Each structure stands twice: as structure tokens, then as C-alpha cells.
Structure 1
Amino acid sequence: MLWVNLRRGLIVSVIFFVLLGLAYPLAETGIGQALFGHRASGSLGTNGSKLVGQQWKGPQWFQGRPDGDDPTATGGSNLGPRSKELVDTYKKRIAALKKQGITPSPDLVAASGSGIDPDISPAAAYTQVASVAAARHLPAGTVRTLVAAHVQGPQLGFLGASHVNVLELNEALAGLR
């Protein structure tokens, strides 16, 4: 009797392993690749994933949120609004932006909650147009048009706010030359 129950348990375990451990993940991966191939592969561009924020050094690039360079270190700082460290960090970021001729905005001063947000508001992108244009010796109108072309509306037309993916914008900016 013990061997019969053991054999049944083993057979059920093998069946569920094959179904849930092999067949289901392979089917889901295949469907994801077939229907959403670019997103299922990580939305990779020439400089990495378009879904992960990256740091851009120098005034010739549009700056994203100050989230850091390590996409594996996700999450906020857990510093509260009364934290002296947070206030000092914000003051340093504001001074650095002003030094580049950029009007500070919340998107460019405060890190995102996830630590990897690739998007900024259109207003934050437009505040950088003059600085980027001057650093690249381009007409401000050309750079402003490039920003306008990269403004993405809310999802489904009503979910969220308009945004600009900084990676895609900087890749397009690099292609201007």
C-alpha cells in the first residue's frame, strides 16, 4: 500500500513538473515573444534597455532623474522630508543644474521611487533645450523640435501624464550629427 501511494505521488509530481515547470513557462515565453517581442526582450536600444533610466554626463546630453548608475539598486532612499541629508542633496543638485544653465524642476532634482525611471516630464526636457543646444552648437529650435517629437502622451490617452524617455531622446540627439 505504501508503494502504491508513493508511486501515485511521484507520478502526479512528474506530471505537474512537466505541465507547470516546463510547458506553461515555454508557452508563456513563446506567446510573449510572438505578440510583444520587443518588450519581452527587455526593450533594448543601442545604449541598453529603454525601460531603465541612465545617467548622461555633460551638458551636451539631456539629463534624466538623478537615480544613479546601478539599475540593480532599485528603490528610494527612504529619507524623509525633514532629513538634512535629503535637503543637502537637493541643494547640491539644484546648484549643479543652475551651473549648467538649466532651470531646476522636480524631475531633475528628486530621484524616482523605483530608482530606475527613464522618463521625465516634457517641461523638464524643455528646460534643458537651451543648455543642450549651446553645448552642441545647434539651433535651439532644432533641439526643441526633437524634444516635441519624443513627447509621449498618457497610456491609452488618459492613464498617467505625458512624458519623455531620456534614453530615446539622447539617442535621437546623437543621430543629428
Structure 2
Amino acid sequence: MKLKELLFERYLPPIIAYLVMGFLSYFYSSINNISWIEFLYSIPPIVWQFLVLIFLLWICVIFIKRRMNSKSTYYGSIPRNGWQNVLRKDYFGVKWQVRTPIIDPVLDFDPFNMNRVPVFNVAPTPRCPECETKLVISDHFLWHTWTCPHCNFGKRTWESIYDVRDRVQNIVDREVEIQLEQENSRQFQG
């Protein structure tokens, strides 16, 4: 059982129930005996500070979890003939496989579109910078851990693997655009 499940399923509900019952009994007795204004002023400042702290922590945890899960799935199409690895890109302390679809010369033959723009895709799982093994990604309560099963390389980060992968994809796309612009300018000059 993970720590998060243990906290939320076994320990948190009794603590919340205990606090709520105590607060409700105090609240009920205060309603019957005094006015609302006197009741609000009779609550000790430490209780108000505790409630504000819990509220701020709750908002911070919600914000962090939403950021971590912003792109929790990636759906991509798989080419008919698979992928061909063309290069490796070092980014964020790990290696990323850049690949392109394998083109079948018979099925993908297109005589009218010979100058296709190449399609490059960054593999969804990064590789270890030391031994090139695919990293194992594990999500924890407030962070992500990327570990290598072969050489015990590890990286702990707030960044989701999907966000980092999208940044690598943007970098690769821009490098391809620059290269195509240079090739087009050479064609027009020569």
C-alpha cells in the first residue's frame, strides 16, 4: 500500500471526523448560549491560524497535483511499419530518442508529393544517460521519480514526463524547421 493511500484511507478520515465532531459540539453549544458575533470572537486565534494553515496547504496540494496530472496520458499513432531511430537528444539530464516512421516504398509511394516534410517524434520514455536503458517512471504524491533499472541512475523532479517530452518535441521541431529553411535557401541561391 502506498503512503498516499495509507494516509488518505486509514489516518485522515478518523482525524477529520474527530475534528469535525469536536467543532460541531462546540459550535452547537455556542449557538444555543451566545450570539454569532460573540461566538466568532470567542474562538481562540490559534484555531483560526490552524484552519487558515490547513486551507492553504489544501490549496497548494490541489495546485501541485493538477500540475502533475495536466498531461497524464499521451495518445499517439503508431506507424504501420514501426519507428526508425534517427538521433538522440540530451535534455533535462537524460537522453531522448528522436524517431521517424519507417516508410514502405510500395505502400507509401506517392509520385506527386516527393518533397515531403519529414515527421519526427520523440519517444515517450527517456533513456538513462549512463547506460541507455529506458527509465522507469513512478509518480509520487508531490513529485515524479525517473530511475534506471540497470545502473540505479535516479532523478527526482516536479516536472511531469509529458511536459518535458513536449518541450523536447518543440526543440526538435524547431531544429527541423531551421534545417529545412537552410536547405530551401540553398536551393533558391543555387
TM-score w.r.t. length of structure 1: 0.29
TM-score w.r.t. length of structure 2: 0.28
Tell which has more relative contact order, 1 or 2 (C-alpha 8 A, sep 6+): 1
Greater Rg by CA: 2
